[in-house]
A and B are shown apart, each in its own frame.
Chain A
Amino acid sequence: MRLSYPGNVKVVKVPCTGRVDVLLILRAFESGVDGVYLAGCLEGECHFLRGNLRARRRVEYVKGLLEEVGLGGNRVEMFNMSASQGQRFAQFAQEMTERIRLLGPSPVKKGE
Protein backbone atom coordinates (compact mmCIF):
# COMPACT_ATOMS: atom_id res chain seq x y z
CA MET A 1 0.00 0.00 0.00
CA ARG A 2 1.86 3.09 -1.19
CA LEU A 3 -0.33 5.88 0.04
CA SER A 4 0.70 9.47 0.15
CA TYR A 5 -0.35 12.08 2.65
CA PRO A 6 0.44 15.82 2.73
CA GLY A 7 4.12 16.49 3.39
CA ASN A 8 3.32 19.26 5.86
CA VAL A 9 2.17 16.69 8.41
CA LYS A 10 4.92 15.99 10.91
CA VAL A 11 4.46 12.71 12.75
CA VAL A 12 5.35 12.56 16.44
CA LYS A 13 5.33 9.01 17.71
CA VAL A 14 3.98 8.23 21.16
CA PRO A 15 3.38 4.80 22.69
CA CYS A 16 -0.35 5.54 23.04
CA THR A 17 -2.50 8.65 22.55
CA GLY A 18 -3.07 8.37 26.30
CA ARG A 19 0.48 9.71 26.62
CA VAL A 20 -0.55 13.01 25.06
CA ASP A 21 -1.02 15.57 27.77
CA VAL A 22 -2.73 18.95 27.49
CA LEU A 23 0.61 20.66 27.99
CA LEU A 24 2.22 18.66 25.18
CA ILE A 25 -0.38 19.97 22.71
CA LEU A 26 -0.05 23.52 24.02
CA ARG A 27 3.73 23.37 23.67
CA ALA A 28 3.32 22.36 20.04
CA PHE A 29 1.20 25.47 19.44
CA GLU A 30 3.75 27.58 21.29
CA SER A 31 6.41 26.28 18.92
CA GLY A 32 4.33 27.70 16.07
CA VAL A 33 2.52 24.77 14.49
CA ASP A 34 -0.74 25.57 12.68
CA GLY A 35 -2.68 22.58 13.91
CA VAL A 36 -2.39 19.38 15.90
CA TYR A 37 -4.30 16.16 15.53
CA LEU A 38 -4.10 12.91 17.38
CA ALA A 39 -4.31 9.67 15.44
CA GLY A 40 -5.49 7.15 18.00
CA CYS A 41 -6.66 3.58 17.79
CA LEU A 42 -10.35 2.84 17.35
CA GLU A 43 -12.43 3.41 20.45
CA GLY A 44 -12.70 0.22 22.42
CA GLU A 45 -9.49 -1.10 20.87
CA CYS A 46 -6.93 0.68 23.05
CA HIS A 47 -4.11 -1.61 24.14
CA PHE A 48 -4.10 0.29 27.42
CA LEU A 49 -7.92 0.16 27.53
CA ARG A 50 -8.79 3.86 27.83
CA GLY A 51 -5.81 5.79 26.49
CA ASN A 52 -7.60 6.98 23.36
CA LEU A 53 -10.75 7.91 25.30
CA ARG A 54 -8.71 10.02 27.69
CA ALA A 55 -6.90 11.59 24.75
CA ARG A 56 -10.24 12.59 23.23
CA ARG A 57 -11.30 14.34 26.44
CA ARG A 58 -7.98 16.17 26.60
CA VAL A 59 -8.38 17.28 23.00
CA GLU A 60 -11.82 18.64 23.90
CA TYR A 61 -10.25 20.49 26.84
CA VAL A 62 -7.52 21.97 24.65
CA LYS A 63 -10.17 23.10 22.15
CA GLY A 64 -11.62 25.22 24.96
CA LEU A 65 -8.20 26.65 25.84
CA LEU A 66 -7.45 27.52 22.21
CA GLU A 67 -10.82 29.26 21.96
CA GLU A 68 -9.98 31.26 25.10
CA VAL A 69 -6.69 32.49 23.72
CA GLY A 70 -8.17 33.23 20.32
CA LEU A 71 -6.42 30.60 18.19
CA GLY A 72 -9.64 28.67 17.59
CA GLY A 73 -10.55 25.22 18.87
CA ASN A 74 -10.67 23.82 15.32
CA ARG A 75 -6.90 23.75 15.15
CA VAL A 76 -6.84 20.62 17.26
CA GLU A 77 -8.65 17.33 16.56
CA MET A 78 -8.83 13.70 17.54
CA PHE A 79 -9.15 10.96 14.89
CA ASN A 80 -9.47 7.23 15.40
CA MET A 81 -8.28 4.48 13.07
CA SER A 82 -6.84 1.01 13.35
CA ALA A 83 -3.21 0.19 12.57
CA SER A 84 -4.33 -1.52 9.35
CA GLN A 85 -6.32 1.49 8.08
CA GLY A 86 -3.56 3.28 6.21
CA GLN A 87 -6.21 4.68 3.91
CA ARG A 88 -7.94 6.41 6.76
CA PHE A 89 -4.64 7.74 8.07
CA ALA A 90 -4.00 9.40 4.72
CA GLN A 91 -7.59 10.61 4.49
CA PHE A 92 -7.49 12.29 7.94
CA ALA A 93 -4.13 13.86 7.15
CA GLN A 94 -5.71 15.32 4.02
CA GLU A 95 -8.85 16.45 5.86
CA MET A 96 -6.94 18.14 8.64
CA THR A 97 -4.54 19.82 6.22
CA GLU A 98 -7.47 21.25 4.28
CA ARG A 99 -9.16 22.44 7.44
CA ILE A 100 -6.00 24.19 8.62
CA ARG A 101 -5.41 25.75 5.18
CA LEU A 102 -8.84 27.35 5.43
CA LEU A 103 -8.05 28.66 8.92
CA GLY A 104 -4.73 30.03 7.70
CA PRO A 105 -1.39 29.99 9.50
CA SER A 106 -1.26 30.15 13.26
CA PRO A 107 -0.96 33.70 14.55
CA VAL A 108 1.68 32.33 16.92
CA LYS A 109 4.71 31.92 14.72
CA LYS A 110 8.13 31.67 16.28
CA GLY A 111 10.70 34.22 15.28
CA GLU A 112 8.33 36.58 13.52
Chain B
Amino acid sequence: MIVGNRKDFSEILEKLGAARRVLLLGCNECVTVCGVGGEREVGVLASELRLYWTKEGETFEVREHTLERQCDYEYIDQIRGFADDYDVILSMACGAGVQYVAEAYKTKLVLPAVNTTFLGVTIEQGMWSERCQGCGACILDMTGGICPIARCAKSLLNGPCGGSSEGKCEIDKETDCAWQLIVDRLKESGQMERYEEILPVKDWRTGRDGGPRRRVREDLKL
Protein backbone atom coordinates (compact mmCIF):
# COMPACT_ATOMS: atom_id res chain seq x y z
CA MET B 1 0.00 0.00 0.00
CA ILE B 2 0.91 3.66 -0.19
CA VAL B 3 1.97 4.98 3.21
CA GLY B 4 2.09 8.54 4.46
CA ASN B 5 2.24 10.80 7.51
CA ARG B 6 -0.24 13.46 8.48
CA LYS B 7 1.15 16.94 8.15
CA ASP B 8 1.57 18.90 11.36
CA PHE B 9 -1.53 20.76 12.40
CA SER B 10 0.36 24.07 12.31
CA GLU B 11 1.38 23.47 8.68
CA ILE B 12 -2.19 22.60 7.73
CA LEU B 13 -3.45 25.80 9.37
CA GLU B 14 -0.81 27.81 7.54
CA LYS B 15 -1.77 26.28 4.19
CA LEU B 16 -5.45 26.94 4.85
CA GLY B 17 -4.70 30.62 5.36
CA ALA B 18 -7.96 32.56 5.48
CA ALA B 19 -10.10 29.68 4.16
CA ARG B 20 -12.79 28.79 6.71
CA ARG B 21 -15.17 26.68 4.69
CA VAL B 22 -13.30 23.42 4.36
CA LEU B 23 -14.26 20.22 2.60
CA LEU B 24 -12.09 17.62 4.31
CA LEU B 25 -11.79 14.73 1.90
CA GLY B 26 -10.65 11.28 3.00
CA CYS B 27 -9.92 8.16 0.99
CA ASN B 28 -11.03 4.64 1.86
CA GLU B 29 -8.01 2.84 0.45
CA CYS B 30 -4.30 2.79 1.40
CA VAL B 31 -4.41 5.87 3.61
CA THR B 32 -7.20 4.31 5.64
CA VAL B 33 -5.17 1.16 6.24
CA CYS B 34 -2.06 3.09 7.30
CA GLY B 35 -4.14 5.29 9.61
CA VAL B 36 -3.46 8.62 7.95
CA GLY B 37 -6.38 9.69 5.78
CA GLY B 38 -9.46 7.48 6.13
CA GLU B 39 -12.82 8.34 7.63
CA ARG B 40 -11.46 8.18 11.15
CA GLU B 41 -8.48 10.44 10.53
CA VAL B 42 -10.78 12.83 8.70
CA GLY B 43 -12.86 12.86 11.91
CA VAL B 44 -9.81 13.62 14.04
CA LEU B 45 -8.52 16.45 11.85
CA ALA B 46 -12.02 17.91 11.50
CA SER B 47 -12.34 17.83 15.28
CA GLU B 48 -8.96 19.54 15.68
CA LEU B 49 -9.98 22.28 13.24
CA ARG B 50 -13.31 22.79 15.01
CA LEU B 51 -11.64 22.97 18.42
CA TYR B 52 -9.03 25.41 17.17
CA TRP B 53 -11.37 27.74 15.33
CA THR B 54 -13.97 27.68 18.10
CA LYS B 55 -11.22 28.60 20.55
CA GLU B 56 -10.20 31.47 18.24
CA GLY B 57 -13.83 32.61 18.01
CA GLU B 58 -13.91 32.12 14.25
CA THR B 59 -16.89 31.31 12.04
CA PHE B 60 -16.23 28.21 9.98
CA GLU B 61 -17.67 25.14 8.35
CA VAL B 62 -15.85 21.82 8.14
CA ARG B 63 -17.51 19.08 6.13
CA GLU B 64 -16.20 15.54 6.51
CA HIS B 65 -16.44 13.34 3.47
CA THR B 66 -14.57 10.16 2.59
CA LEU B 67 -14.49 8.76 -0.93
CA GLU B 68 -14.01 5.14 -1.89
CA ARG B 69 -10.87 6.26 -3.75
CA GLN B 70 -9.39 9.57 -4.80
CA CYS B 71 -7.48 8.05 -7.69
CA ASP B 72 -10.55 7.21 -9.77
CA TYR B 73 -12.58 9.82 -11.53
CA GLU B 74 -15.96 8.18 -10.83
CA TYR B 75 -15.53 8.62 -7.09
CA ILE B 76 -14.09 12.11 -7.27
CA ASP B 77 -17.13 13.11 -9.27
CA GLN B 78 -19.36 12.29 -6.30
CA ILE B 79 -18.54 15.60 -4.59
CA ARG B 80 -19.48 17.62 -7.69
CA GLY B 81 -22.80 18.65 -6.13
CA PHE B 82 -21.33 20.40 -3.09
CA ALA B 83 -17.62 21.05 -3.72
CA ASP B 84 -18.43 24.61 -4.71
CA ASP B 85 -19.91 25.35 -1.29
CA TYR B 86 -16.37 25.29 0.15
CA ASP B 87 -13.35 27.59 -0.12
CA VAL B 88 -10.97 24.70 -0.16
CA ILE B 89 -10.76 20.94 -0.56
CA LEU B 90 -8.31 19.60 2.01
CA SER B 91 -7.41 16.12 0.81
CA MET B 92 -6.14 13.41 3.13
CA ALA B 93 -5.33 11.01 0.27
CA CYS B 94 -1.86 10.23 -1.07
CA GLY B 95 -0.26 12.66 -3.49
CA ALA B 96 -1.91 10.91 -6.44
CA GLY B 97 -5.36 11.42 -4.94
CA VAL B 98 -4.74 15.08 -4.15
CA GLN B 99 -3.62 15.69 -7.73
CA TYR B 100 -6.55 13.89 -9.28
CA VAL B 101 -9.00 15.89 -7.19
CA ALA B 102 -7.20 19.09 -8.23
CA GLU B 103 -7.42 18.01 -11.87
CA ALA B 104 -11.15 17.40 -11.56
CA TYR B 105 -11.92 20.70 -9.80
CA LYS B 106 -9.87 23.15 -11.79
CA THR B 107 -11.14 26.32 -10.17
CA LYS B 108 -10.87 25.08 -6.60
CA LEU B 109 -8.05 25.37 -4.14
CA VAL B 110 -7.02 21.78 -3.34
CA LEU B 111 -4.53 21.23 -0.51
CA PRO B 112 -2.67 18.17 0.81
CA ALA B 113 -3.01 17.24 4.49
CA VAL B 114 -0.68 14.26 4.16
CA ASN B 115 2.98 13.75 3.28
CA THR B 116 3.10 10.66 1.07
CA THR B 117 6.16 8.63 1.93
CA PHE B 118 6.45 5.11 0.55
CA LEU B 119 5.11 1.86 -0.90
CA GLY B 120 5.15 -0.61 1.92
CA VAL B 121 3.65 -3.21 4.17
CA THR B 122 2.09 -3.43 7.62
CA ILE B 123 4.68 -4.84 10.03
CA GLU B 124 2.17 -4.89 12.87
CA GLN B 125 -0.91 -2.88 13.77
CA GLY B 126 0.38 0.69 13.89
CA MET B 127 3.72 0.08 12.14
CA TRP B 128 4.57 0.18 8.44
CA SER B 129 7.74 -0.31 6.48
CA GLU B 130 9.01 0.53 2.99
CA ARG B 131 9.34 -2.25 0.42
CA CYS B 132 9.29 -0.96 -3.16
CA GLN B 133 10.25 2.15 -5.10
CA GLY B 134 8.49 1.29 -8.33
CA CYS B 135 11.69 1.04 -10.37
CA GLY B 136 9.76 -0.44 -13.29
CA ALA B 137 12.09 -3.44 -13.80
CA CYS B 138 11.76 -5.73 -10.84
CA ILE B 139 14.78 -7.78 -9.80
CA LEU B 140 13.28 -9.53 -6.78
CA ASP B 141 13.91 -12.88 -8.50
CA MET B 142 17.64 -12.23 -8.18
CA THR B 143 17.62 -10.93 -4.64
CA GLY B 144 15.69 -13.53 -2.71
CA GLY B 145 12.49 -11.50 -2.74
CA ILE B 146 14.07 -8.58 -0.87
CA CYS B 147 14.36 -5.28 -2.71
CA PRO B 148 17.79 -3.66 -2.56
CA ILE B 149 16.50 -0.54 -4.32
CA ALA B 150 14.00 0.28 -1.60
CA ARG B 151 15.63 -1.34 1.39
CA CYS B 152 19.36 -0.71 0.99
CA ALA B 153 20.19 2.86 1.99
CA LYS B 154 22.48 3.11 -1.05
CA SER B 155 20.25 1.06 -3.38
CA LEU B 156 23.28 -1.15 -4.06
CA LEU B 157 22.73 -3.85 -6.66
CA ASN B 158 25.71 -5.90 -5.53
CA GLY B 159 26.02 -5.52 -1.80
CA PRO B 160 26.63 -5.37 1.01
CA CYS B 161 28.86 -2.36 1.48
CA GLY B 162 31.45 -2.02 4.24
CA GLY B 163 28.90 -0.40 6.51
CA SER B 164 27.03 -3.62 7.14
CA SER B 165 27.55 -4.69 10.74
CA GLU B 166 25.86 -7.50 12.65
CA GLY B 167 22.98 -7.48 10.22
CA LYS B 168 22.33 -3.77 10.58
CA CYS B 169 22.87 -0.92 8.16
CA GLU B 170 25.33 1.84 8.98
CA ILE B 171 22.62 4.48 8.75
CA ASP B 172 21.15 3.33 12.08
CA LYS B 173 21.03 0.34 14.34
CA GLU B 174 17.29 -0.11 13.90
CA THR B 175 17.55 -0.64 10.15
CA ASP B 176 18.34 -4.10 8.82
CA CYS B 177 21.05 -4.27 6.18
CA ALA B 178 19.07 -5.23 3.09
CA TRP B 179 22.01 -7.17 1.70
CA GLN B 180 22.37 -9.18 4.88
CA LEU B 181 18.67 -10.03 4.54
CA ILE B 182 19.20 -10.95 0.90
CA VAL B 183 22.13 -13.24 1.62
CA ASP B 184 20.29 -14.88 4.53
CA ARG B 185 17.20 -15.41 2.40
CA LEU B 186 19.18 -16.77 -0.57
CA LYS B 187 20.90 -19.24 1.78
CA GLU B 188 17.64 -20.24 3.41
CA SER B 189 15.95 -20.88 0.10
CA GLY B 190 18.90 -22.68 -1.44
CA GLN B 191 19.61 -20.04 -4.08
CA MET B 192 23.09 -18.91 -3.08
CA GLU B 193 24.28 -19.38 -6.66
CA ARG B 194 22.31 -16.21 -7.50
CA TYR B 195 24.57 -14.22 -5.22
CA GLU B 196 27.52 -15.11 -7.46
CA GLU B 197 25.88 -13.37 -10.40
CA ILE B 198 26.84 -9.74 -10.68
CA LEU B 199 23.79 -7.61 -11.32
CA PRO B 200 24.46 -5.27 -14.24
CA VAL B 201 24.18 -1.50 -14.04
CA LYS B 202 20.49 -0.73 -13.86
CA ASP B 203 18.71 1.12 -16.61
CA TRP B 204 16.81 3.66 -14.56
CA ARG B 205 14.75 4.85 -17.49
CA THR B 206 12.04 2.35 -16.51
CA GLY B 207 11.90 4.18 -13.19
CA ARG B 208 11.45 7.85 -12.39
CA ASP B 209 14.55 8.82 -14.39
CA GLY B 210 12.68 8.08 -17.61
CA GLY B 211 10.15 10.78 -16.78
CA PRO B 212 6.51 10.40 -15.74
CA ARG B 213 5.21 6.94 -16.53
CA ARG B 214 1.98 5.80 -18.08
CA ARG B 215 0.41 2.43 -18.60
CA VAL B 216 -2.05 1.57 -21.34
CA ARG B 217 -4.09 -1.57 -21.86
CA GLU B 218 -6.05 -1.26 -25.03
CA ASP B 219 -8.04 -4.41 -24.29
CA LEU B 220 -9.41 -2.90 -21.10
CA LYS B 221 -10.57 0.32 -22.68
CA LEU B 222 -14.27 0.90 -23.18
Contacts and interface: CB of A to CB of B under 8 A. Distances in A.
Contacts of B8: 68
Contacts of A22: 44
A55 to B, nearest CB: 15
Contacts of A108: 51, 54-55
A23 interface: yes
B131 to A, nearest CB: 26
A3 interface: no
A6 interface: no
B44 A69 contact: no
A23 B9 CA distance: 16
B68 interface: no
Interface in B38-65: 40, 43-44, 47-48, 50-52, 54-55
A30 B55 contact: no
Contacts of B44: 22-23, 26, 65
A71 interface: yes
Contacts of A68: 8-10, 48
A35 to B, nearest CB: 14
B9 A69 contact: yes
Nearest to B47: A26
A12 B48 CA distance: 22
Q: How large is the interface on A (under 10, 10 to 19, 20 to 34, 35 or more residues)?
A: 10 to 19
A26 B51 contact: yes
A71 B187 CA distance: 55
A67 to B, nearest CB: 9
Interface string A65-78: 11011110000000
Given A70-B55, A108-B55, A65 B40 contact: no
A29 B51 contact: yes
Contact of A70 (B40, B43, B50, B52): B52
Nearest to B10: A68
B55 A69 contact: yes
25 contacts: A23-B40, A23-B44, A26-B43, A26-B44, A26-B47, A26-B51, A27-B47, A29-B47, A30-B47, A30-B51, A30-B54, A65-B44, A66-B51, A68-B9, A69-B48, A69-B52, A69-B55, A70-B52, A70-B55, A71-B51, A107-B54, A107-B55, A108-B51, A108-B54, A108-B55
Interface of B: 8-10, 40, 43-44, 47-48, 50-52, 54-55
